[in-house]
Amino acid sequence: MSDGRIADRRIAAGAERPGRPGRPRPVEALRLRLLREVNSTVHGADLHLERYDRPPGDPGLFGPDSVVWQVHGHPAGMLVGGFAALMLQALHPVAMRAVAEHSDYRTDPVGRLHRTARFVSTTTLGSSAAAEAAISDVRRIHGHVRGRDTGGRPYRADDPDLLCWVHTAETACFLAGHQVFAGAGRLSPAQCDDYLAEVAQIGQLLGADGVPVSRAGLVRYLVGARGALRATPEALEAVALLRGFGRTRRERLAVRVLTNAATGLLPHWARRALGIRRPWAVRRLWDRPLARLLGAVMVWACGLSPIRAAATARARARPAVPAGGGGTR
């Protein structure tokens, strides 16, 4: 049985009505249903908790006291930031060309979402071995991705500059999402720099060069990158597919709320390039409050993430003593 279904059964068992075994209370039944939908949409049915719950005492790449764990643990900030990152990344013609030619996002958008979410959660919260394996898998895949851009120039997915763009666009949007939606949990300027310095490790391990490690470096990088960015037909198609994504009416509504809020995280020049015209008042007074409300519902539905709970228990545990060793002299 998958870890996701085990978690569902545990919650269902605790939600049963007193004196009526097997029948959860209506509110808890709704929460369980939403939990299943969130896990199915973001992670898939199997949470693969074995990547997070062992070995005891292993902090992973960052550890529970890191700023990365703080930023990547905020549901609304990460979801809205993640959608913004996909839009911003699409403005790099070579990156978008590689995705269009080698990704199955058109035919299997849910699978694409699962793989992306799994990579982020594994490198953030997974054991050291699981995180390193995830990075190794991505590097192996990148090694086979080759092609030519619209001008006929060759490209490869493991190009260090291209990897730097993908990483930087993603982490800039994750940070922006956290700062907008975390409320009292917003980071100080120094903590923002710490986040960028910590998370740079992932980009560097993937092979990226010149990854920004501070807010000042991030600003310089984005200013320097703007000249190479434009909205190709492939980019506009990808953003349209993203904003209309959803297998059910409820899923499509949730995605529209999140992607509308995501446009508010983009630089004004990125919105203009993508043809997104949402007035400031709509972005601030309508899109953001709705996304905050949706994020609160998701937190209520999911409670403490089973992934985060497993990772925290692993990282805080006392390391196992090897057989025959560890005694004092």
pLDDT digits (tens, 9 = 90+) for 135-161: 999 999 999 999 999 889 999 999 999
In a domain, 312, yes or no: no
- pLDDT of 182 higher than 80: yes
Lowest-confidence pick of 92-106, 182-196, 278-292, 294-308: 294-308
pLDDT band at 329, cuts 50/70/90?
very low
In a domain, 35, yes or no: no
Lowest-confidence pick of 147-151, 206-210, 270-274: 147-151
Q: What percent of the chain has pLDDT over 90?
A: 71
Q: How far apart are CA 154 and CA 313, in angstroms?
A: 46
- pLDDT of 25 higher than 90: no
pLDDT of residue 323: 65
Backbone angles phi, psi at 143, to 5 degrees: -65, -20
Closest CA to 258 of 325, 312, 181: 181
Of residues 323 and 254, which shows the higher confidence score?
A: 254
pLDDT band at 325, cuts 50/70/90?
low
pLDDT of residue 41: 75
The tokens describing 271, both together, are 């919105």
Q: How far apart are CA 115 and CA 168, in angstroms?
A: 19
Handedness of CA 292, 287, 254, 241 (dihedral sign): negative
In a domain, 191, yes or no: yes
pLDDT of residue 298: 81
- pLDDT of 260 higher than 90: yes
Closest CA to 46 of 60, 36, 56, 54: 36
Q: Strand locations in the chain, DSSP E?
A: 16-17, 20-24, 146-148, 154-156
Mean pLDDT for the stretch of residues 206-221: 98
In a domain, 239, yes or no: yes
pLDDT of residue 1: 42
Contact between 32 and 38 under an 8 Å Cβ cutoff? The reply is no
In a domain, 290, yes or no: yes
- pLDDT of 17 higher than 50: no
In a domain, 269, yes or no: yes
pLDDT band at 31, cuts 50/70/90?
confident
Q: Domain limits at 274?
A: 73-113+130-302
pLDDT of residue 326: 53
* Helices 288-302, 26-42: crossing angle, 10 deg rounding: 110
pTM of the model: 0.88
Ramachandran bin of 103, using left for φ above 0, alpha for ψ from -120 to 50, beta for the remaining angles: beta
**pLDDT, tens digit, 9 for 90 and up, residues 56-87:** 999 999 999 999 999 999 988 999 999 999 99
Domains in the chain, number = 1
In a domain, 96, yes or no: yes
Of residues 328 and 104, which shows the higher confidence score?
A: 104
Mean of the per-residue pLDDT values of the chain: 89
Mean pLDDT for the stretch of residues 223-240: 97
- pLDDT of 14 higher than 70: no
- pLDDT of 164 higher than 60: yes
In a domain, 4, yes or no: no
